[in-house]
Structure 1
Amino acid sequence: MPVRVVPVPALEDNYMYVVIDEETKQCGVIDPVDAAAIQTAAEREGATITAILTTHSHWDHAGGNVELKKRCASVEVVYGGVGDGVAGCTKELGDGDTFALGNSTVQVISTPCHTAGHICYLVDGNVFTGDTMFVSGCGNFNSGTPAQMAQAFQKLLALPDETKVWVGHEYTCKNCRFALFADPDNEEIQRRLKWAESCHSWTVPSTIGDEKRCNPFARLGSLPMFDNEPGGPAERMRLVRKAKDDWGRR
């Protein structure tokens, strides 16, 4: 039986997730900043929290780890990336590591840049990207380089197109507006923006295929701004991030 993903909103625009192994009803929770809300969501689904899966160390993702472990005696392990300093972490993970969630297997994808030890989690055709990949966007390069973010995107974009993408924040409308600014003739982005603006709740999940079509940080080889311009993925990633930052300050 596959895993089932239950998104749970938190703070102003964060996403937490309950990831349930349907055969055992054991679950892992992704970035549980609001410990009470994620515990309630798991109980409502009839699932037992056995693991906390943290994408990165920022408070709005890891800030509920310690409290949730205190509240739930069933929590056996708190995962985080190697060297990221995740609150309450009991097991650090690196690229390619795997672990069991009930009868399901979770694989780790190392994506340092937003933080030094940022990781993503892949399980049963679902990838949880934290603040690396957003719907039509990407995270800030707080602790890394454009080359690192370019490499992180290359890893994620190598997943099958049908892979569901569960992101860390609801930034979709703003991201799509910039995407259309950067790629104005892209009809897929035009449709995505209209759809996002019409949504009355969350816009997750996306898919890897959707991001290949609508995310400017995934389209470094085809953006009009780079027509006839030299530069590899790292330089293009830098320029798109700068363009997004400059656009956001207008």
Structure 2
Amino acid sequence: MLDIIGVPVLSDNYVWLAHDAASGETAVIDPAVAEPVLAAAQARGWTITQILNTHWHPDHVGGNAVIVAATGARVTGPRGEVAKIPLIGRAVAEGDEVQIGAHTGKVIDCPAHTAGHIAFAFEGALFAGDTLFAMGCGRLFEGTAEQMHAALAKFMALPPRTLVYCAHEYTQSNARFALTVEPDNMALVNRAQAVDRLRERGEPTVPFSLAMEAATNPFVRAGSVAELARRRAAKDSFRG
């Protein structure tokens, strides 16, 4: 398995470092900024060889230039967003693969949050960017509820034990909204309480399993595109 660590940056972002011990290769996924990421890799003796971007938003690509300058890392990102991603060297889409040492990741097209959003699915690990969050999903800035419904279905077809490495710590707010949708879902009630305890201790709630999302995520559990759209609109205005 890849050795994966999270680097908390900005107010609620996670940048992920995925390391293959055999080859010594390390990939950075969605670097919002550079300096804490470079420091985390250096502290572990890891050599950054590549950057994987899921989409073009600045809090996912803002560290590209400095990391490339410091390490010579190659940038891989979505084919549909080449013009918006700094220093992209390889453009990929669904059907393509990426390598971190001996570990192969499949590219998944998941437009909805942005028009060209992709995810990277390795054995046991899904780097989902801003498409799937713990008990939530991304805002539909450039896409549709139909696209989000299809994207989440692709994710949920992966093995249930797959751990999701999303890019934000939105879990407490997502849990509060989810409870307005399914207040009698005891798996959700218990998870929300566990999340509160983790955050009280300053601990992350990411990664999380797809199995957990199947049981507690109101967007994954939506029975139709229309239901997902209603829930997403309600979440957009939710202030809980």
Is the TM-score greater than 0.5?
A: yes
Q: Would you say the 8 A contact 1:28–1:101 is kept in 2?
A: yes
Q: Deviations over 1:107-159 (max 9, x none)?
A: 11111111111111111210011100000000100000110000000000111
Q: Secondary structure at the match of 2:94?
A: coil
1:218 paired residue number: 220
Measure how far apart 1:175 and its partner are.
0.2
- CA offset at residue 5 of structure 1? 0.5
| Structure 2 unpaired stretches of 5+ | none
> 1:225 aligns to what?
none
Q: Does 1:80 align with 2:71?
A: no
Q: Distance in 2 between matches of 1:67 and 1:33?
A: 11
Please report how far the alpha carbon of residue 246 of structure 1 lies from its aligned counterpart in structure 2 after TM superposition.
3.0
Q: Which amino acid aligns with 1:80?
A: G
CA distance in 1, matches of 2:133, 2:58: 18
Q: Work out the CA distance in 2 between the residues paired with 1:83 and 1:151.
A: 18
Q: Specify every segment of 5 or more residues in structure 1 that has no aligned partner in the other structure, as ranges.
A: 222-232
Alignment-derived partner of residue 238 in structure 2: 247
Do the aligned residues in 1 keep the contact of 2:139 with 2:236 (CA within 8 Å)?
A: no
Within a 5 Å distance, the mapping from 1:112-131 to structure 2 comes to: 112-131=111-130
Q: Which residue of 1 aligns with 2:159?
A: 160
Say whether residues 1:56 and 2:58 are aligned partners: no
By how many angstroms is 1:201 displaced?
1.7
Q: Per-residue displacement from partner, 1:9-67 (whole Å, max 9, x unpaired)?
A: 01000000000012112110001112111111112222111110011100011111111
Contact 1:25 1:46 in 2 (8 A): no
One-letter amino acid of the structure 2 residue matched with residue 82 of structure 1: R
Identity of aligned residues (%): 38
Deviations 1:80-133 (A, max 9, x none): 111212222111110121022111112111111111111111112100111000
2: CA distance, partners of 1:38 / 1:9: 9
* TM-score of the two chains, using structure 2 as the length reference: 0.95
Cα deviation 1:145-197 (Å, max 9, x = unaligned): 11000000000011110000111100000000000110000011111111111
TM-score (norm 1): 0.91
- The aligned runs of 1:189-208 (5 Å cut-off) are 189-199=188-198, 200-208=202-210
Say which SS state the counterpart of residue 175 (structure 1) adopts. Answer: helix
* Structure 1 residues 124-203: aligned runs within 5 Å: 124-199=123-198, 200-203=202-205
Using the alignment, how far apart are the partners of 1:235 and 1:111 within structure 2?
A: 18
CA distance in 2, matches of 1:21, 1:81: 23
3-state SS of 2:107 partner? strand
**Matches of 2:157 and 2:11 in 1, distance apart?**
31
Measured in 1, the distance between the counterparts of 2:188 and 2:87 equals: 40
Q: Which amino acid aligns with 1:119?
A: I
State the number of aligned residues.
Answer: 235
Aligned residue type for 2:105: V
Counterpart check, 1:91 vs 2:82: no
